[in-house]
Structures are given as C-alpha cells and as structure tokens.
Amino acid sequence: MIEVKELSKKFKEVEAVKGISFEVKKGEVFGLLGENGAGKTTTLRMLATMLKPTRGTALINGVDLLQAQKEIRRRIGILFGGETGLYDRLTARENIEYFGLLNGMTKEQISNRIQELSEILNMQEYIDRRAGKLSKGMKQKVALARSIVHDPEIMLFDEPTSGLDVTAIRIVHKFIKRLKNQGKTIVFSSHSMAEVEKLCDTVGVIHKGEMVEVTNLEELKRKYAGVELEEIFVKLVGDKNE
C-alpha cells in the first residue's frame, strides 16, 4: 500500500530526513515514533506531496510519488496536529463541505458524510458554528473530519492529538481504531510510545532523520522481554546519541 524507498530531504545544509525506507500494508496502522525534530513531519509532508524529496521516492498504491502527485492527493487524507488550517469565518460544516467539493463529491454525498462524521466525532452541537469561535479540541475534530470527508484509502496523521484534552484524545483514538477496522491504511506519527502502543500494528523509530528500527510491536516486545516500551524507545534513541 505504501512503500518508502530511501526517502531524503535536505534544507540547505541540514538533512532533515536521511534515506529512510519502510513499508505499510493495507489496513495497517504504522506508528512513526520520534522526538520533536526527528523528521516525522518532514517525512509525512513528503508522502503528502507537500514537499519534494531531495532523494528517493515512495509508492502510494503503486503510484510513484514523483510522477503522479494529483492522483496521490485524491487517494490520501492529511491531518497535521496543531495546524488545523480552518477558515475562521466559515462554519464547521462549511469547512468540511469545501474540502468535499474540492475532492469531487456531490452535495448529497457531502451532506450524508457530514452527518455521519458529526455523529461519530460528537460534533452535532457546534457543526453550524463558525470555526473561529471553536475551542482547540473542537477545531481539531473538524479538521479530522475535513481530512477524511472523501473517504480516502490512506490517512496521514501527524500528531493528531497534540494539545487536546483527555476527552478529545479518547475520541480521536477511537476514531482511528474505527478507520483501521474499515481497512484503511494509516501512518500515525507521535512522540508518545504509549499512544503508538495503543493504536499501531507496526512502529518505525526515527531519530535525527534516520530510521533506527522498523518492527512489529509484538516482535519489539519479545526482543526486549520484560522492558517497558518507553524504556525501549529511550534505549534505541540513546544508542544513537552515544
């Protein structure tokens, strides 16, 4: 479903991502785990066609990242934590509608989809309120609904629970699990091992732009038997700092 091949990104003299490779199978939740500044967001922005790789490429459903960007954009949903990008003067509904229209949906399809998503994400009370009047948690849920209104096969979520309260985090986690049960393919970045453990099948640990480890979570637990996952993460990253 997603095959990343030696993907790299350099900004002037700084190489933010250094030739990373990994695969994500259909219906799998892949956790991209790393500290702030590790290269997670840059990686996801390249997969979303928002940044052009300096080197390497990726295949999204067999489509080359460098050769068919418009096709890839139709197949993916994107959400970056802390960057909702909502239009404050539009209502939550209108923000979602706009993205539905951009993705070629009919007004009837959009209306039905918004009804479904507002119920799942518990947005009924503020779906017709202007986005500028919403709390951070409300905005994040609207942004989540907007990113997947067209029911894409692949989701790219960059720290989608960043800055949310406990209740909002639970709703987002539950929704991601729902998407997985529907067979969606998800790349989910986080700096929290606990969050990755809760949501993901496979984890890729990235540190200073390099992929330190890519493994199934169960295999990782067996490899470091008796060690808590948070300590495993610290050990993997610590080894690279030595």
Taking 60 as the threshold, does the pLDDT of residue 241 lie above it? no
Residue 225's pLDDT band, with cuts at 50, 70 and 90, is: confident
The domains found in the chain, sorted by start residue, are 2-84+153-241 (3.40.50.300)
- pLDDT at position 163: 75
**Structure tokens that stand for 81 in this block:** 């934590």
pLDDT tens-place string over residues 7-60: 999 998 899 999 999 999 999 999 998 888 899 999 999 999 999 999 999 999
Mean pLDDT of 160-166: 82
Mean pLDDT of 136-151: 91
- pLDDT at position 89: 96
Mean pLDDT of 177-191: 91
Taking 70 as the threshold, does the pLDDT of residue 81 lie above it? no
What CA–CA distance (Å, rounded) separates 115 from 92?
12
> What is the value of pTM for the model shown?
0.88
Report percent pLDDT > 90 for the chain. Answer: 59
- pLDDT at position 74: 86
pLDDT tens-place string over residues 110-143: 999 999 999 988 899 999 999 999 988 889 889 9
Mean pLDDT of 90-115: 96
